[in-house]
Copies of this chain bind each other. A is one copy, B any other.
Amino acid sequence: MSIHSTRRCMVTQVQAAPVRTRLSGILAKSALWLGLLPLALTPSFSHAIQPDAEYLVREKQFGDQWSAEDKQVQKKLTALEEKFGKKPNIIFILADDIGYTELGSYGGGKVRGFATPRLDEMADEGMRFLQFYSEPSCTPTRAALMSGRHPVRMGLLGVLFPGTSGMGLADEELTVAELLSGAGYHTGMFGKWHLGNDQGMTPIEQGFDEAIWHEGNAPWWSLYHGVKGSDNAGYVNIGALFWAPGPDNFSYDTGGILSGKKGEAPKVVEPFTLEGYDTMDSDVADDVIDFVERHADSDRPFFAYFAGKGNHFWGAHPDFMNQPAGTNNSAQMAEHDHNVGRVLDKLEGLGIADNTLVVWMSDNGPMYAMHPHGGYSLLRGEKGDTWEGGVRVPAMVWWPGMIEAGQEPVDIIQVTDMFTTAAAIAGVKSDIPSDRVTDGVDQRALFLLGEGKSRRDYIFHYNKEKLEAVRKDQLKFRTKPEKHHHNCYNLHHDPDERYPDLARYCLWAGPGFGKMIQDHKAMIEKFPHRVQNVYQREFDYPFDPNPNQ
């Protein structure tokens, strides 16, 4: 089922081939700035995390309780470290565009015409979150996961589309891979990076020892390289529907899937093809498993980042095409489910499951532009907005022996928390710099001591540069009103956000929300947002479709 061996052949072939046209601008550029790498990879550390204002309010209230919990947490972690002789391994699995209600355990699966037995088993064996929040889209969630900061803070606002350059995860951001490298972890990144291809932005410049990656979703490039009108992919004649010449030499046409090691230049290991895209999730899982196998017996722990394939483009492994729903999404769901199962099986087979925290989550809600092939959520909204359907995502953590099986906490938790929690588990939380706000909250107590222990009951929901909603406990205050006034939802009463009721829910809470926003803004004034070189402009291509208007 794997084309892994094929891919390895491609490396040699591409390197040896006289035709080097597939190697694009990035490779030439990378050669130029390789000399700068050592400096770029060294962030300025300090020794006290700087949380957002609302966290400080809660810390005042719960600080003593949290300290007591931290002692219990540390006891569990110390016992584990004594048993295995090293810190725990950590794996982040980031699925792409999977809606909140898609997995069997979340009311999807069979209801949606496919099955997710392995992810449901993972939920049974671990902790399944009912209120886990991502950022509204792909690049922002990835930035938040890597940096522990809301992407607005680094000026990284929306999805990086082909054609944007100069934008991505800025080199001065400290990534979880850099932090864990500092703690002695082997670090590897596999799959969809989508955080920029410019200098300092690639995974091997952002803390990963090794990576096999691609920027965004490969079909962009496959199409660019010239799909034919007769090309079929999955259920669709993709040629007839999507053929386009594309802009020449756009910024992140890397020519293929890249591979590299820290301090080296990236190499193209496989050209982009629609066929290659079909098996991409399975190939990425192979890469993750290979990395895990190589480091399982090391005296140092590992950190692997498995960034799955976009659930919203055509193409899935042929073995999984025959789902009852008959959609490409259903095939991709079944394939990804299988691949997550393979990773967990490998951990168990190697006897390291007990010493490995696995985080699985989706990067945002579904993309209805591809309906019915692009996923679904019963919740209102979709990828790209801050309605629940855009940002409340399926997510779970799995760590046999450490995380009690079968838990389903309704605790509020956010993607940035994965950064801080991983740092805390690796014992390097104090290395998170205090010259910037870190939104991620240490959630070790929730993971290891159980439901009700989240240190967060609030979220600032940004959409690009706009603060669209503020969450506190059951209430969600929308600062971007649909009508002439602000709106307020009670998410227990109304998880689908159908019944805004400022009077019923937020008249009393309004001043509280006002204060939260005020304090949050004051913190931004103290630690201003970064401004990126190039602002995200969607489809701002150098042509005017209506030149005469």
Contact = CB atoms under 8 A, between A and B. Distances in A.
A381 B236 CA distance: 32
A11 interface: no
Interface centre among A107, A110, A372, A492 (most CB of B within 10 A): A492
B378 A101 contact: yes
Contacts of A326: 492
Given A379-B378, A408-B104, A324 B474 contact: yes
B490 A372 contact: yes
Given A372-B499, A493-B327, A496-B378, A106 B104 contact: no
Contacts of A111: 130-131, 410, 492, 495
Contact of A113 (B327, B376, B493): B493
A325 interface: yes
Interface in A479-514: 490, 492-496, 499
A408 B115 CA distance: 11
Interface string A436-451: 0000000000000000
Contact of A372 (B113, B131, B408, B494): B494
A496 B382 CA distance: 14
A98 to B, nearest CB: 15
Contacts of A112: 492-493, 495
Interface string A136-175: 0000000000000000000000000000000000000000
A371 interface: yes
Given A110-B410, A111-B130, A376 B327 contact: no
A101 B110 contact: no
Interface residues of A, number: 31
Nearest to A410: B110
Interface string A230-244: 000000000000000
Contacts of A130: 110-111
Given A106-B107, A107-B107, A113 B378 contact: no
Contacts of A327: 492-493
Interface string A462-478: 00000000000010000
Contact of A376 (B104, B110, B379, B493): B493
Contact of A494 (B376, B490, B494): B376
A412 B410 CA distance: 31
Contacts of A325: 474, 490, 492-493
Interface centre among A104, A326, A376, A493 (most CB of B within 10 A): A493
Nearest to A323: B492
A92 B158 CA distance: 53
Contacts of A106: 107
Nearest to A490: B372
Interface string A369-399: 0011000101100000000000000000000
Nearest to A372: B493
Contact of A495 (B324, B378, B408, B490): B378
A303 to B, nearest CB: 31
A511 B408 CA distance: 46
A77 B29 CA distance: 75
Nearest to A107: B107
Interface in A100-120: 101, 104, 106-107, 110-113
Contacts of A495: 111-112, 376, 378
A378 B324 CA distance: 23
Interface string A63-98: 000000000000000000000000000000000000
Given A106-B107, A110-B408, 20 more contacts: A107-B107, A107-B378, A110-B130, A110-B409, A111-B492, A111-B495, A112-B493, A113-B493, A324-B474, A325-B490, A325-B493, A326-B492, A327-B492, A327-B493, A371-B493, A371-B499, A372-B490, A372-B493, A372-B499, A378-B496
Interface of A: 101, 104, 106-107, 110-113, 130-131, 324-327, 330, 371-372, 376, 378-379, 408-410, 474, 490, 492-496, 499
6 contacts: A111-B495, A112-B492, A112-B493, A326-B492, A376-B495, A378-B378
